[in-house]
């Protein structure tokens, strides 16, 4: 039986993942752990307050709920991390260490830990970035992601703890807001477009980044979680490509449905974006666990506008 803890379960990916896992394993078998208090507690039960920087918190929850699997999503993302590197270090590196140590001591079945395109750096080849290549990130977030990939592999090889992860690109979704990343513009812009407000984009119009729509993000992490162990030659560091675009490509696609104004005023996030790949070679994910995305840019934009429009009560 699966009893799953989703750390950071109230976040952008966590909230969609929890909905998916609860459909598959049952509401009571998927526990949300987050440092944030939920806005509507009755809608997210079972929820427990969790600070991953406190090891005893994690041990208590694993015991209390009889957890065998953790999706560890609690993190401080790239832009927020640059504003508070000390917090990012504590949550992303010490928090992950606590999760791995609790997982080892409680002999958990599996721990899923997402990495990110932020694991790459300025020296990494930018186009069709190979899976196994130079990892020299310059953000504290990226450094924490490389640390996570290597620690996960270490715990697998040394202790047999089954840690797995994909390197997510920027994730786009309509049901929960993003949490302070460099790719957040690609979500925020939809709110402005639907309200016919002017959007001030914090990246230059031609900055291409890899992106993915939430249904594919959930598909990727759950497919990898369920992949037969003997098929995996990689574990914690799978590139997953879905689409790549620049802000102006996204604007042009949205303008097929709604007219709105955009101004480009790049800030400190531009430098972060320029240190990341433009597209990824995801051959290992395709070969080892049959990864294939469902959404390209036009399909994502159509679905985002329909669903976010409904949520905001705005006509297209
Ligand atoms: P998010 O910021 O939306 O959510 C993170 C959650 O973690 C928040 O709900 C926050 O309250 C919680 N949290 C923060 N500190 C905590 C602590 N000390 N203890 C417990 N909970 C804490 O992030 P997300 O976008 O959902 O990202 C989830 C994972 O996916 C992260 O590991 C992130 O690096 C990775 N990822 C996300 C993206 C993306 O575009 N969203 C891209 C690549 C990788
Ligand atoms: C961020 O921009 O920090 C995240 C990521 C790509 O990891 N969306």
The residues spanned by each domain of the chain are 4-169+214-239, 171-211+242-279+294-312
For 199-252, how does the pLDDT look when each residue is reduced to its tens digit (9 = 90+)?
999 999 999 999 999 999 999 999 999 999 999 999 999 999 999 999 999 999
**Selection from 24, 44, 43 nearest residue 33 by Cα:** 44
Atom 19 of ligand 1, nearest CA residue = 51
Active site includes 141?
yes
Architecture of domain 4-169+214-239: 3-Layer(aba) Sandwich (3.40)
Nearest CA to 109 out of 48, 31, 163, 152 is that of 163
Q: From the candidates 47, 141, 192, 199, give the one annotated as an active-site residue.
A: 141
Q: pLDDT, tens digit, for every residue of 56-101?
A: 999 999 999 999 999 999 999 999 999 999 999 999 999 999 999 9
pLDDT > 70 in the chain, percent:
100
Query: What is the rounded distance in angstroms from the CA atom of residue 179 to the CA atom of residue 170?
Result: 11
**Mean pLDDT for all residues in the chain:** 98
CB proximity list for 43: less than 8 A, separation 6 or greater: none
Q: Enter the DSSP assignment of 205.
A: T
DSSP state letter for 212: E
The enclosing H or E element of 144 equals helix 140-159
- The pTM of the full predicted model, rounded to 2 decimals, is 0.98
pLDDT tens-place string over residues 245-293: 999 999 999 999 999 999 999 999 999 999 999 999 999 999 999 999 9
Single out the residue of 23, 204, 202, 5 nearest to residue 113, CA to CA.
Answer: 5
Tell how far the Cα of 159 is from the centroid of ligand 1, in angstroms.
26
Ligand 2 centre to CA of 48 (Å) is 26
Mean pLDDT value of segment 166-194: 97
* pLDDT of residue 315 exceeding 90: no
Question: Pocket around ligand 1: residues whose beta carbon is below 6 Å from it?
Answer: 7-8, 10-14, 34-36, 50-53, 73-75, 77, 91, 95, 114, 116, 168, 170-171, 178-181, 183
For residue 277, the model assigns a pLDDT of 98
CA–CA separation, 290 vs 305, rounded Å?
Answer: 29
- For 166, 267, 269, the CA distances from 291, given in Å and listed in that order, are 11, 34, 30
What proportion of the chain, given as a percentage, has pLDDT over 90?
99
Is the pLDDT reported for residue 316 higher than 90? no
Taking the C-alpha atoms of residue 22 and residue 26, their distance in angstroms, rounded to an integer, is 5
CA 242, 220, 245 angle in degrees (round to 5)? 20
Average pLDDT over residues 169-186: 97
| Peptide bond preceding 46 in cis form (omega within 30 of 0) | yes
């Amino acid at each position: 039986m699966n009893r799953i803890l989703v750390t950071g379960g109230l976040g952008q990916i966590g909230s969609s993942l929890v909905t998916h896992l609860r459909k598959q394993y049952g509401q009571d078998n998927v526990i949300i752990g987050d440092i944030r208090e939920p806005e509507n507690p009755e809608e997210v039960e079972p929820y427990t307050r969790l600070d991953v920087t406190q090891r005893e918190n994690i041990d208590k929850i694993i015991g209390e709920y009889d957890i065998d699997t953790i999706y560890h999503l609690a993190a401080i993302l790239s832009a927020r991390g640059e504003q508070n590197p000390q917090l990012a270090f504590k949550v992303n590196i010490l928090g992950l260490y606590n999760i791995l140590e609790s997982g080892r001591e409680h002999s958990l079945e599996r721990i899923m830990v997402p990495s990110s395109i932020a694991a790459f750096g300025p020296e990494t080849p930018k186009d069709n970035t190979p899976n196994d290549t130079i990892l020299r990130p310059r953000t504290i977030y990226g450094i924490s992601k490389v640390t996570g990939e290597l620690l996960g592999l270490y715990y697998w090889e040394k202790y047999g703890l089954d840690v797995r992860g994909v390197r997510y690109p920027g994730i786009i979704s309509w049901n929960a807001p993003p949490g302070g990343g460099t790719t957040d513009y690609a979500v925020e812009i939809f709110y402005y477009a639907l309200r016919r407000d002017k959007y001030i984009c914090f990246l230059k119009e031609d900055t291409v980044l890899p992106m993915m729509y939430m249904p594919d993000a959930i598909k990727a992490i759950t497919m990898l979680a369920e992949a037969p162990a003997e098929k995996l030659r990689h574990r914690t560091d799978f590139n997953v490509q879905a689409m790549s675009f620049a802000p102006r490509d996204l604007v042009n696609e949205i303008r097929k449905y709604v007219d709105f104004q955009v101004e480009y005023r790049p800030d400190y996030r531009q430098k972060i974006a320029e240190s990341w790949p433009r597209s990824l070679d995801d051959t290992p994910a395709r070969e080892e666990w049959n990864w294939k995305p469902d959404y390209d840019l036009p399909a994502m934009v159509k679905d985002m506008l329909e669903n976010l429009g409904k949520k905001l009560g705005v006509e297209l």
